[in-house]
Chain A
Amino acid sequence: MRKVVICVILLCWMMNLAMAQETSKAEKREPVRSPYESGILLDNQTCVIYPANTLEFLLEHRFGPMKYGMEDLFGIWAPANIYLGLNYSITDYLIVGAGTAKTNRLQDIHWKWDILKQSRSGSIPVFVTYYGDIAMDARNKSVFGDNYKFADRLSYLTEIIVTRKFYDRLTLQVSGSFSHINKVPEGQDHDKIGLSFGGRFRVSPQSSIIVCYDLPINTKAITENIPLPASMPNFSIAWEIATAAHDFQIMLGTANYLNRQYNMIYNNVDWTDWSHGSPLMLGLNLTRLWSF
């Protein structure tokens, strides 16, 4: 399996090189303009990689669940989760970053590579993006139980995102991911295959409605446990406002964690279950860009 993945990545890389050479000879294949305004789409990633030498500061904040109403002002006074990160575009095609989240004290490094960029001429119909993340749980080692090893702290995600900007207002994406957490509580799966869908509908030049849906595939084919420990799909929706250097996403969502692989494996909030009040929580994503 690993060999196949390496072969696919190498093939895509060679295609990319071949296209770059072709570009210098023939007509320039300019990528379509701003399929999204930011590198993140709520709890997921977009195909956006900023121009080379751009630094992005990222702040993600999730309040508590809204179900207690005025008791904790719809979750605003409840314990919250927060993520602070920095991303840097090494080239127009590759961005690397690192960050820290409050819940589980997750420290992560990640990278994103636009293997293909949708061209204005239509010769390349979609963006194909590879996203990878390694996270480390930095809590006290007593959390990990007996026979502690450093590797118990680690978790991984690898994801391929296919995006198409259909016209100025509408961009849609679909992605497939594989998540793995080295040490999980008994009865929990280590691995999860996930599908994600998302998109943007631009309402005005600066404002958009964005949505994201993560669907963990609870399949018996890769589960280690019967009965199957199901993780729940995550749904989030936001109003996005973009300026030259900032992006604001004011959102409602159900993801417990500010890390993709943890959401895929551990999310236990059912966004369709309103029997005990709203399962949604308020949140914010903010980004700030600097060009060097």
Chain B
Amino acid sequence: MKTLKRINAPAMLGVFLIALFLMAFVLPQEKKKGGTWNIPEKYKTMKNPYAGQKDLINVGKMLYAKNCKSCHGTNGKGDGPRAAGLTTHPGDFSNVTWQKNNTDGDLYYMAIIGRDEMPNFEKKIPDEQDRWSIIMYLRTL
């Protein structure tokens, strides 16, 4: 009768650690999504007064890099270095449905007024044209 080989403890530990490492790619990594935004009507219907001024997209890009990139990531996918410390996912601006379902006014409210982990930027970005520049840049992501 064949006998089972003795279990090699270091090898088992190694297998366990490798399995643990691989599980990191399998287990859901998604953060909790923030609930639906409750956006006041006056913001929903806001129109971008600078629409068509394409030169402002570059201004928005600069402001995005300084104010938003650390959480929202270079391409707006919500994968910035500070996103890991947040409770909720910062959202994916490159998502076509997200772009389609939100008006410019919605974006303005979310980006400038904020809520919970999304800070208010009214004082940090006091200039109205700068604020809309960021919205215009978000539309390009």
Contacts and interface: CB of A to CB of B under 8 A. Distances in A.
Interface string A191-227: 0000000000000111000000000000000000000
Given A30-B127, A33-B130, A54-B123, A205 B67 contact: no
A33 B59 contact: yes
A244 B124 contact: yes
B123 A51 contact: yes
Contacts of B127: 30, 33
A243 B121 CA distance: 13
A37 B123 CA distance: 16
A54 to B, nearest CB: 7
Nearest to A205: B65
A79 to B, nearest CB: 35
B6 interface: no
A242 B66 CA distance: 7
Contacts of A33: 59, 62, 127, 130
Contact of A30 (B61, B121, B124, B129): B129
A53 interface: yes
B67 A204 contact: no
A244 B67 contact: yes
A23 interface: no
For chain A, what secondary structure do more than half of its interface residues adopt (helix, strand, loop), or is it mixed?
A: loop
A53 B121 CA distance: 14
B126 interface: yes
Contacts of A292: 123
Contact of B61 (A205, A242, A245): A205
B70 A53 contact: no
B130 A291 contact: no
Contact of A243 (B59, B66, B129, B130): B66
A168 interface: yes
Interface in B78-130: 121, 123-124, 126-127, 129-130
Given A33-B62, A168-B62, A244-B67, 13 more contacts: A30-B127, A33-B130, A51-B123, A204-B65, A205-B61, A205-B66, A206-B69, A242-B66, A243-B70, A244-B121, A244-B124, A245-B124, A292-B123
Interface of A: 30, 33, 37, 51, 53-54, 168, 204-206, 242-245, 289, 291-292
